[in-house]
């Protein structure tokens, strides 16, 4: 079983428990609000496509924003893992270790294991994003294996491998915890830090300090955020 896949699933489950309550696997939050992971996936995919200048009538010279695409790929991975955990629970297929085992045995995982992936053409990447959207929008029973396969293909096309996906996922997981701890739900959280979105700041800190542990990354985010607040 791949340890990175298992840890990401465990972290996602912990984040969902903390954010939504432990009944989230039944499709509702602790406040009895319905959860729709499929909608989360296709809406996030739409944001991914906006990383490219796809509008033929506007910004036709826009350069692709590969950094933003990679962050959006990690965001949709949060939702895919959440959907898988919910589906396995609902279908009585097992828990997190069973999901990790199934993914680890998937042939698609080899696409992102120990590979230095470059960027694929914009049009091919957008077509793969739309494949993910089709999974999420389908009225049929979820094709779990197909969803994971298409996601790993997209991951490879976006210049990420398993190590970089894992590192960005852990970074975004810590950022999400930080957001929840600092007013994200009630709207008081500030998402733009000195002109940059917090995602960008997190990615920059993570890349500049590769030896940081997750709890140390949280402290660095707090230092940057509260320094920002003092200057406002």
> From residue 28, how far is each of 2, 34, 133, 173 by CA, in Å?
30, 5, 22, 21
Judge whether 202 lies within some domain: no
Structural domain harbouring 154: 3-168
Q: Is residue 178 situated within a structural domain?
A: no
| Residue 102 belongs to some domain of the structure | yes
Determine the pLDDT at residue 209: 86
Indicate the number of domains in the chain: 1
Specify if 79 maps to a domain: yes
Contact by Cβ (8 Å): 24, 90: no
Give pLDDT tens digits along the chain (232 positions).
899 999 999 999 999 998 899 999 999 999 999 999 999 999 999 999 999 999 989 877 889 999 899 999 999 999 999 999 999 999 999 999 999 999 999 888 998 987 776 899 999 999 999 999 999 999 999 999 999 999 999 999 999 999 999 999 999 989 988 998 999 988 999 999 988 889 889 988 988 888 888 889 999 999 999 887 665 5
Whether 206 maps to a domain, the answer reads no
pTM over 0.85: yes
Please report whether residue 54 resides in a domain. yes
- Residue 187 included in any domain: no
Residue 213 is assigned to a structural domain of this protein: no
What pLDDT was estimated at residue 75?
94
Q: Can you give the CATH number for the domain in which 35 is found? A: 1.10.4010.10
Do 85 and 9 contact (CB within 8 A), yes or no?
yes
Please calculate the CA angle 121-125-127 and round it to the nearest 5 degrees.
120
């Amino acid at each position: 079983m791949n340890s990175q896949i298992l840890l990401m699933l465990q972290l996602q489950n912990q984040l969902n428990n903390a954010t939504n309550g432990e009944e989230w696997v039944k499709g509702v939050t602790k406040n009895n609000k319905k959860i729709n992971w499929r909608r989360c996936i296709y809406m996030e995919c739409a944001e991914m496509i906006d990383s490219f200048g796809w509008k033929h009538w506007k910004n036709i010279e826009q350069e692709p924003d590969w950094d933003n695409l990679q962050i959006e790929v990690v965001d949709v991975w949060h939702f895919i893992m959440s959907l898988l955990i919910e589906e396995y629970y609902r279908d009585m297929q097992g828990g997190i270790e069973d999901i990790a085992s199934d993914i680890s045995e998937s042939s698609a995982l080899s696409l992102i294991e120990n590979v230095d992936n470059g960027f694929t053409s914009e049009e091919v990447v957008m077509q793969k994003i739309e494949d993910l959207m089709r999974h999420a929008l389908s009225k049929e029973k979820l094709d779990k294996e197909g969803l994971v396969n298409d996601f790993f293909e997209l991951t490879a096309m976006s210049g990420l491998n398993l190590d970089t996906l894992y590192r960005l996922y852990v970074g975004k997981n810590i950022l999400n915890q930080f957001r929840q701890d600092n007013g994200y739900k009630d709207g008081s959280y500030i998402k733009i830090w000195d002109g940059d979105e917090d995602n960008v700041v997190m990615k920059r800190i993570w890349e500049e300090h590769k030896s940081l542990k997750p709890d140390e990354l949280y402290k660095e985010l707090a230092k940057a955020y509260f320094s920002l607040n003092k200057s406002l």
